[in-house]
Structure 1
Amino acid sequence: MSGTVVDALTWWARTVPHHPVIDFDGDVVTYAELDSWSDGVATGLRERGIGRGDRVGIVGANSLEWCVAAVAAWKTGAVACGFNQRFRAGELAALVSLCEPAAVFGATEQLDVLHEVRDSGAEFTVLDLGEVVGAARGVAHPPVGAFDADPDDPTAIVFTSGTTGTPKGVVFTHRTIAGVVHEWSLGEPVAPNDLRVLLVLPMFTAAGVIWGLARSVVQGGTMHLQPRFDPPRALEVLRDARITTFTGPPILFEQVAGVAGFADTRLDHLTTAWVGGARVPVPLLERWRPRGVALRQIYGQTEIGGTATAMSAEGAARHPDRCGWGGPLTRVRVVDLEGRDCAPGEVGEILLRGPGMFPGYWRNEEATEQALRGGWLHTGDLGTLDEQGLLAYVDRIGEMINSGGLKISPAELETVIAQVSGVGEVAVVPVPDAKFGETPAAVVCADGELDPAGLVAFCNERLADYKVPRYVIAHDGPLPRMASGKIAKRDLRAAYADAPARFPRVR
């Protein structure tokens, strides 16, 4: 592989110039328009001395300008670095210090924060995203000169804090992006220009810049980008645009299924409905099946390109707790503490290797060596492989609750508790216990009237007694979430660290 995302854009701009590449909530940009628009912005970056290997930051909500800025950075040979637009100056400064961008595009509402970060000592040029990028739209720009790309050049950095809170920059190269898209196209074949992706997650995530923008451009598809996740609007786009691909955590599918009119909507054109980030409740599968959609559980991490395994449409109904086999070119192992492959059904750490495996964390050799020891991505997740080689996710290694020497999986409890009447959202976190060291507490956002005693009784019928939560905490409002849509358990652990002093035990 010697090409880049930019090469793919050039190809499609020549062969299907009028085909839409991005539909931003009705504002459509074609391949020819994106090619020329990004040429204009890339020329401006080159005039500022920005070139191969430099980092270009982008901070702002989902927009056409965000996408064009990323493509323009790629056209100069620079590395696109998306920043969370909700970050305060201190949080943003940590990422700026890590990647040292030459320039940062900022939406109008982020400019004050960017100037604050720069004034604190960081050296970079602040560019108004709307003014600089928007001014180049609709003008015929000459092609920007090509750069000498190497397949292993970094082309994007996606920042992930995971459960630790420590920012790490996952590096994507031209080779890994091509590998991710190629493997996806083998497992989920789609005719050229027929790919239609609905993206409601932020552009600065891997779901946005890699699985949304880069994949759509490489495959000649269309990314239907939304400013934010709005369930009624998402259902409307799914239906009217005949979306073929929609991926995200269970909450996206749950909220779309709650929209009035969902039960009367046929969605059988949605052939790739992948659900990740948490176990998929069986009732959720059953709500989408009559709509002609098979929700399929996946497993992956940003460090493997986003997705490593996906359940088949046929297998999803038979094995709702399984995440599938590895992709056509991805291998999956489950190993014990000594690195030996576990027997079928035995819990161990999930290891991955495939074309989307990242080369390392940006300027963090220690973390890279730890994650990639032995040539495999050590995920830090626990899982099992059955006799057929199907993967089942158990939990994060660091999130297992050790109650008196007995290990408890929060994910297992959450799957059971989510079936209790009155439970809207649930997260199980450890809290201190004088006798057992720590014990599970169920933090619940109620969807109706919550009966803690009934919840405990429900769990008693389905779980060993030591797994049943000793505390049921009614959380005020929706549970906090990270940009990926996953529940922010780190925040909940901090908020309820003193739960035994504030809440009564329910058993």
Structure 2
Amino acid sequence: MEEVVSSTLIDIFKWWAVDRKDTAAIVTAKDQITYSELNCWAEAIADWLIAEGLQRGERVTILATNSMEWIVLSQAVMLSGGILAPVNPRFTVSEVAYMVGERYQSKFIFHDAARAELANATQAKVEGCTVFDISVIDQFRNGASANSAPRPEIGLDDEVVIIPTSGSTGHPKGVVYSHRTLSSYVSETAIAEPYSIDKAKVLLFGPLCTSAGYVVTTQYLAYGGTIFVEEAFEPLRAIQMIQEHGITVMMGAPIFFERMAASESFAAADLASLRYCLVGGARVSNQLLDTWLEKGVTLRQLYGQTEAGGQATVNSRSAALSDPEKCGRGSAFTRIAIVDDKGEFCGPNTPGEIVIKGAGIMTRYWNDPEATAKTLVNGWLHTGDLGMVDENGLLTMLDRLKDIIISGGINISAAELERVISEIDGVNEVAVIAAKDDGFGETPLAIIYGRDDLTIETVIQHCNTHLSAFKVPRYVVLEGEALPRLATGKIAKPALRVKYANAHVELSKVR
């Protein structure tokens, strides 16, 4: 697409380091730093990384929960010319080793204290990888440079980060963003939402290893805002933070807003400071929209995915009231369209696959040209999601064509669970679908047909060994007959979803 920006993220952050040098950039429960301090600290770490042998384009993995150090280190990797390659800290050794070794070939892994054993076990499986405790960067907080070698000259097409995404193939893919991608993404929202981003105070609880964490943080630091970083979401604390700090921006899956609305402090809470609240990842009920509207807060439905920067389109303020179930019509640089199974563009109110062309589209999947070619076609990102646009261009997201379960705002690949469970001796067929869950919105339900001696305990034990805890099914059904099939020969998941629509009521959790 045509060039819309000429500055890298580094240029933008350096601007704020001077123009808002005393403004708080990052605030945590125990600490905070200004834009000037952030820049000095990140530059010193970047020099140290170069002295440690990091070459331009080499990958650096962070294996840690949300923290100030996480964000500062990510900035340092950018300055050094490295590529950030974070991994979910809840992953198992086999999952981390696959991402760090087979996918990224990371040179360094930085871990927090809780992940020391995990990082060391991963290092033993990945040749040539060096492990550091993330606290090692604290020694550079005073800005003391550790290296006199010049930093590389960074351009718009240099790659910044690889964000892992759960796809329908069973293994996570790495979504690559460049400076051009992210700077254009930042610029687009600045044009479309100038009021919303002005001196923003962002409450961030999305994991920094995801687009909901890293991209949002990068975006609002590029606006000179203040990021209030939470290690995890807790509804009472979120309400407290909004009131104490005048939070202006918050976003997340519907389950987070539902849990806040259900908390005892919600009714009396003053939430008037919130001026930009985005909800995505699942449909938002009219009841939830009305509950927040009564507090003077308009929840605006978004649609996006990691491949599109996380937020491809957001419903406008007016449409959020008139058509609250819709997701907007794109933006200044972003176009939304619907195509049929032949790739032809559809007219208004005709269901088909959602495709996106715009500023925040990934450059590629890391080391996966085949998947890239299938997803990026003639400049359009094929999302694998079903939707339609009305005569005004407003998008309605109808269903996920890709087999993803969204649990507590985190994507879980049904195909990955099916691959792991199918490895168990005695499993003949397996289908994993989403079951409703009061705490997480959705949770995995595994439906298995196999030998008579197969037990649920065997299934859970195997999953606990090979999957992160949040992926392990909370419901398991052992069927006595083969699973239903479609005419194509695929397991008929639509029929299984109907059969187990009330699984959360009718079945007992197995863990």
Matches within 5 A, 1:163-312: 163-190=168-195, 194-212=199-217, 214-312=218-316
Distance 1:52 1:287 in 2: 50
Deviation at 1:233, TM superposition (A): 0.8
Give the equivalent residue in structure 1 for 2:120: 115
Q: Classify 1:341/1:139 alpha carbon distance in 2 versus 1 (closer, same or farther; 3 Å).
A: closer
Unaligned runs of 5+ in 2: 407-411, 415-429, 440-469, 483-495, 507-511
1:148 aligns with 2:117: no
Distance 1:354 1:143 in 2: 39
- Indicate the SS of the match to 1:323: coil
Paired residues, number? 436
Distance 1:125 1:371 in 2: 34
Q: Classify 1:159/1:282 alpha carbon distance in 2 versus 1 (closer, same or farther; 3 Å).
A: same
1:161 aligns with 2:166: yes
- Indicate the SS of the match to 1:122: coil
Give the equivalent residue in structure 2 for 1:391: 395
Q: Deviations over 1:457-502 (max 9, x none)?
A: xxxxxxxxxxxxxxxxxxxxxxxxxxxxxxx8x865983463989x
Q: Classify 1:139/1:352 alpha carbon distance in 2 versus 1 (closer, same or farther; 3 Å).
A: closer
1:342 aligns with 2:342: no
Deviation at 1:115, TM superposition (A): 1.6
| Preserved contact between residue 47 and residue 151 of structure 2 (Cα < 8 Å) | no
| Preserved contact between residue 310 and residue 324 of structure 1 (Cα < 8 Å) | yes
- Indicate the SS of the match to 2:373: helix
Matches within 5 A, 1:431-442: none
- From 67, 71, 75, the equivalent of 2:75 is 71
Give the equivalent residue in structure 1 for 2:479: 498
Unaligned runs of 5+ in 1: 401-409, 412-426, 430-437, 448-487
Deviation at 1:258, TM superposition (A): 1.8
Give the equivalent residue in structure 1 for 2:425: none
Which amino acid in 2 is paired with 1:152? Answer: D
Q: Classify 1:171/1:445 alpha carbon distance in 2 versus 1 (closer, same or farther; 3 Å).
A: closer
Distance 1:444 1:384 in 2: 25
Distance 1:83 1:442 in 2: 24
Deviation at 1:119, TM superposition (A): 1.3
Distance 1:341 1:444 in 2: 34
Distance 1:192 1:320 in 2: 22
Distance 1:391 1:255 in 2: 27
Deviation at 1:263, TM superposition (A): 1.5
Deviation at 1:312, TM superposition (A): 1.5
- From 440, 443, 447, the equivalent of 2:435 is 443
Q: Deviations over 1:63-104 (max 9, x none)?
A: 111111111101101111111111111000111120111111
Deviation at 1:30, TM superposition (A): 0.4
Q: Deviations over 1:21-40 (max 9, x none)?
A: 00112521101111111122
1:93 aligns with 2:74: no
Aligned-residue Cα RMSD (Å) equals 3.3
Distance 2:90 2:327 in 1: 32
Deviation at 1:239, TM superposition (A): 1.8
Q: Deviations over 1:243-284 (max 9, x none)?
A: 111111001111111222211223232111010000001110
Give the equivalent residue in structure 2 for 1:479: none
Distance 2:6 2:478 in 1: 51
Distance 2:432 2:52 in 1: 55
- Indicate the SS of the match to 2:161: strand
Q: Classify 1:330/1:88 alpha carbon distance in 2 versus 1 (closer, same or farther; 3 Å).
A: same
| Preserved contact between residue 279 and residue 302 of structure 2 (Cα < 8 Å) | yes
Q: Which moved more, 1:311-320 or 1:328-337?
A: 311-320
Deviation at 1:446, TM superposition (A): 6.0
- Indicate the SS of the match to 2:383: strand
Deviation at 1:46, TM superposition (A): 0.8
Q: Classify 1:257/1:341 alpha carbon distance in 2 versus 1 (closer, same or farther; 3 Å).
A: same
Which amino acid in 2 is paired with 1:235? Answer: I
Give the equivalent residue in structure 2 for 1:324: 328
- Indicate the SS of the match to 2:120: helix
Distance 1:355 1:104 in 2: 30
Q: Classify 1:176/1:444 alpha carbon distance in 2 versus 1 (closer, same or farther; 3 Å).
A: closer
> What is the TM-score of this pair, normalised by structure 1?
0.79
Distance 1:249 1:499 in 2: 36
Deviation at 1:43, TM superposition (A): 1.6
Q: Deviations over 1:92-149 (max 9, x none)?
A: 011112011111111122122222122124321111101x112222455489744211
Q: Classify 1:245/1:376 alpha carbon distance in 2 versus 1 (closer, same or farther; 3 Å).
A: same
Distance 2:270 2:318 in 1: 19
1:8 aligns with 2:12: yes
Which amino acid in 1 is paired with 2:104? Answer: C
Deviation at 1:441, TM superposition (A): 8.7
Distance 1:493 1:257 in 2: 25
Which amino acid in 1 is paired with 2:16? Answer: W
1:31 aligns with 2:35: yes
Distance 1:264 1:40 in 2: 46
The 4+ residue runs of structure 1 with deviation greater than 4 A are 139-144, 438-442, 490-494, 503-507
| Preserved contact between residue 39 and residue 143 of structure 1 (Cα < 8 Å) | no
Q: Deviations over 1:148-188 (max 9, x none)?
A: 11211111110011344311000010000001111111111
Distance 1:399 1:228 in 2: 26
| Preserved contact between residue 100 and residue 126 of structure 2 (Cα < 8 Å) | no
- From 82, 85, 93, the equivalent of 1:81 is 85
Which amino acid in 1 is paired with 2:384? Answer: G
Q: Classify 1:398/1:207 alpha carbon distance in 2 versus 1 (closer, same or farther; 3 Å).
A: closer
Distance 1:35 1:223 in 2: 15
| Preserved contact between residue 28 and residue 230 of structure 2 (Cα < 8 Å) | yes
Matches within 5 A, 1:38-57: 38-57=42-61
| Preserved contact between residue 275 and residue 297 of structure 1 (Cα < 8 Å) | yes
Q: Classify 1:441/1:305 alpha carbon distance in 2 versus 1 (closer, same or farther; 3 Å).
A: closer
